[in-house]
Amino acid sequence: MSDSALIRLGWDFIISSGASSITVLCCLLESAAMAGHDSGSQHQFTGFQKYFNSYTMIGRRNYVIATYASVAMLILYFKFRPKKTTPAMADK
């Protein structure tokens, strides 16, 4: 039986047994902790990966900040770059 089927069976049992909302909340938190990959507790990153990785929240945050900064720099570059003058305009 797959994990999702077991979780569904567990939820059906909790709901049918008339469990309190605190019990349901605790089961939800336990199932959320089991989902997904490891949050980086076993990884020792060095160099570039220490600051930019997909395992830790800080690493993900740094990717987002770098992406936003890159887009902002491109927008500012194209907004403030010098305008080219055409030869006909230079003669007048």
Given a cut of 80, whether residue 39 has pLDDT beyond it is: no
Highest mean pLDDT: which of 10-14, 29-33, 55-59? Answer: 55-59
pTM, to two decimals: 0.46
Number of other CB atoms surrounding residue 10 within 10 Å: 13
Rounded-to-10 torsion of CA 59, 63, 69, 71: -170
Q: CA end-to-end span of the chain, whole Å? A: 82
**Confidence tier at 25 by pLDDT (50, 70, 90):** very low
